[in-house]
Amino acid sequence: MPTIPDTLRTTAARCPQREALVFGERRRSYRELHEEVERSAAALAAGGVRPGDRVLLMSTNSDAFVIAAYAVLRTGAILVPANPNNAPPELAHLITDSGATALLHAPALTAVVRAGVELAGSESTGTAPTVLTLPELAELATADHPPVTHVCAEDDDALLLYTSGTTGAAKGALFDHHRAVWVGVNMAGVAGYRDGDRTLHVAPLYHAAQLSLILFAGTPLGMTHVVVPGFDPAAVADVMAAERITVFFGVPTMYQFLLRLPDLASRDLSAWRVGMFGAAPMPADAVRALVAALPEVELYQLCGQTEAGPGGIFAGPAEVAARPDASGRYAIPNTEARVVDTDGRDVEPGTVGELVLRGETVMKGYWNRPEATAETIRDGWLHTGDLALLDADGYITLVDRLKDMIITGARNVYSVEVEGALAGHPDVLDVAVIGIPHPDYGESILAVVVPVEGREPTLESLRAWAKERIAGYKAPHAMVVHPIPRNPSGKIQKHLLRAELAKVAEPVTG
């Protein structure tokens, strides 16, 4: 099986003049993209990047992100995509945990990167990573460097995708080229990707879904990758029309805002053939509205997990229309999905159990965390921690998360991490964090607070406090003063809080 860099090389040889990458006014053919990746890889290698090194890439969506990602992999190094919203302590953790030797970043993130690198240096005796902005890498790539001669093998490690756990500390899920390329094979089979499709990258490229399901999956088929820096519904609709986009992946929030465009029906979106949504639950009413508004688009719901590639279960156009409330009906090709009880036995229809997965794309394990790996992958099955209801027709619907993860605007937020950030606030005696339903963002983050006697914490002060310690999107959207129920062992009974406080406040969305 080819490696990720192999797929770019062979596509450039097969269709060199086809448009490969579009970002604003900049357009590159596959031949041009391949040549620029080769030059950038040579510059990285000349700067000391070696096979097996971990290289952090921290940037918003851009053509430079795409070039850098392929260049890192071309050197034989392991790509570590980082959320550009990370606060310095979070970035420092990624640096020290991965042992990164290089860090590539967008210029706008320079202050955060400097702070994160400095903090990482104070916590480690290791060598500080080489830091380059993406324009600096592009400039270095214009010089003459010896070409990279290293040839990657399919079992070489390729991607280290960080995902938070119940402790709040991000864990790196490790994938080799074999697993990463199989993700693309699987998705092409699910959604019917075609040679020469044109796709729009608006969901963040650092995220496993956009990176692996679309970018790395589309290149072998010669997809044209149209990249935009962020989401604005009208602007996205304009680009989809102008660029004749045929394949689009978006999180539910994006689709919901697209549906609110007053002139959506009159826009020329006739090229749009495949629409995929996932990374967060889509309300059933929104799915129905989507099916009605886009009758010519084949809609696919994807429900998976980073540790699975990402991979998991899906619903095709017929299933999306028939059961808009369900999370999926079939396992992704080359993947098995089961709903099991606590003893690992298949549950009967109508019963809730844990969704477990097995297949070619499941991670090798967590980086340097053998115990966490053994806990998550048992007897070859990936235990997702998602509670799911299996019905008699084979549909699977996620009903809760064992790890109390909150998904807001398709971004994963772990309650324990937010609680840890808020616990040191001088006005807070005790705190619990839960997700409450939000019509646009899926869930909002509610902080349930027991104040220090005589103190009166405010939402504004909690948000400001949290933003100094964790990424801004993880700060609470709403706050309530309320007793925190605990069981005899001291664990918070969050199901009781969710039941009591589901409609406690109109949350902010900033």
Q: Are 59 and 113 in contact (CB under 8 A)?
A: no
For residues 112-134, give the mean pLDDT.
88
Residue 232 resides in a domain: no
Terminal C-alpha separation, the chain: 44
Residue 450 resides in a domain: yes
Cβ burial 335-366 (10 Å sphere, 16+ → b, else e):
bebbbbeeeeeebeeeeebbbbbbbbbbbebb
Q: Which of 102, 126, 152 is the last residue of a domain?
A: 152
The whole-number pLDDT of residue 509 equals 45
pLDDT in tens, 395-441: 998 876 666 778 888 887 877 778 888 988 999 988 999 998 888 88
List phi, psi (to 5°) of 489.
-85, 0
Please give the tally of structural domains in the chain: 2
Residue type, 234: A
Share of the chain above pLDDT 70, in %: 95
Placement of tokens 């965390």 in the chain = 369
The whole-number pLDDT of residue 490 equals 54
Q: Are 276 and 300 in contact (CB under 8 A)?
A: yes
Task: Choose between 282 and 337: higher pLDDT.
Answer: 337
For residues 311-324, give the mean pLDDT.
95
Describe the strand order of the beta sheet including 330-331 as a list of residue ranges.
26-29, 19-23, 224-227, 198-201, 247-250, 274-277, 298-305, 311-315, 330-331
pLDDT in tens, 434-476: 998 888 888 899 999 999 999 999 999 999 999 998 999 999 9
Residue 470 resides in a domain: yes
For residues 17-26, give the mean pLDDT.
97
Q: For Cα atoms 112, 116, 119, give the angle at the middle one, nearest 5 degrees.
A: 140
* Distance, CA of 291 to CA of 281 (rounded, Å): 16
Q: Tell me which residue of 415, 437, 417 sits closest to 493, measured CA to CA.
A: 415
pLDDT-derived band at 320, boundaries 50, 70, 90:
very high
Cis bond upstream, residue 310 (ω within 30):
yes
Task: State which residues form the domain around 416.
Answer: 405-501
pLDDT in tens, 233-285: 999 999 999 999 999 999 888 998 999 999 999 999 999 999 999 877 777 88
Question: Given a cut of 70, is residue 506 above it in pLDDT?
Answer: no
Q: How many helices (H) and strands (E) does the chain have?
A: 17, 26
Check residue 109 and report its DSSP letter: G
pLDDT-derived band at 487, boundaries 50, 70, 90:
low
What tokens were used for 72? 């890192």
The whole-number pLDDT of residue 125 equals 61
For 460, what's the count of Cα atoms within 13 Å in the CB-facing half-sphere?
A: 0
The whole-number pLDDT of residue 167 equals 40
Question: Given a cut of 90, is residue 338 above it in pLDDT?
Answer: yes
* Distance, CA of 290 to CA of 250 (rounded, Å): 12
The whole-number pLDDT of residue 498 equals 86
Q: Specify burial of residue 227 (Cβ count, 10 A radius: 0-12, 13-18, 19+).
A: buried
For residues 102-124, give the mean pLDDT.
92
- Residue 288, classed as helix, strand or coil, is helix
Question: CATH number of the domain that 119 lies in?
Answer: 3.40.50.980
Residue type, 201: H
Q: Which of 152, 174, 201 is the last residue of a domain?
A: 152
Residue 273 resides in a domain: no
Question: Given a cut of 50, is residue 510 above it in pLDDT?
Answer: no
CB atoms within 10 A of CB 151: 11
* Distance, CA of 4 to CA of 321 (rounded, Å): 35
Residue 133 resides in a domain: yes
The whole-number pLDDT of residue 165 equals 43
Question: Which sign does the torsion angle of CA 252, 255, 259, 262 carry?
Answer: positive
Share of the chain above pLDDT 90, in %: 77
Lowest mean pLDDT among 42-56, 64-78, 342-356: 342-356
Residue 326 resides in a domain: no
For residues 54-59, give the mean pLDDT.
98
The whole-number pLDDT of residue 406 equals 83
The whole-number pLDDT of residue 488 equals 46
Question: CATH number of the domain that 461 lies in?
Answer: 3.30.300.30
The pLDDT mean for the chain works out to: 91
* Distance, CA of 417 to CA of 243 (rounded, Å): 40
CB atoms within 10 A of CB 230: 10
pLDDT-derived band at 166, boundaries 50, 70, 90:
very low
Q: Tell me which residue of 493, 489, 482, 503 sits closest to 430, measured CA to CA.
A: 482
Helices of type H across 15-102: 30-46, 63-74, 88-98
Placement of tokens 């071309």 in the chain = 74
The whole-number pLDDT of residue 493 equals 78
Chain centroid to CA 485 = 32
The whole-number pLDDT of residue 501 equals 85
pLDDT in tens, 357-389: 999 999 999 999 999 999 999 999 999 988 888
Question: Which sign does the torsion angle of CA 108, 142, 118, 61 carry?
Answer: positive
- SS3 of 398-464: the string is EEEECCCEEEECCEEEEHHHHHHHHCCCCCEEEEEEEEEEECCCEEEEEEEEEECCCCCCCHHHHHH
- DSSP states along 213-258: IIIHHHGGGT-EEEE-SS--HHHHHHHHHHTT--EEEE-HHHHHHH
Q: Which of 152, 184, 203 is the last residue of a domain?
A: 152
pLDDT-derived band at 346, boundaries 50, 70, 90:
very high
Residue 86 resides in a domain: yes
**Stretch (H or E) spanning 494:** helix 494-501
For residues 160-186, give the mean pLDDT.
85
Question: Given a cut of 60, is residue 507 above it in pLDDT?
Answer: no
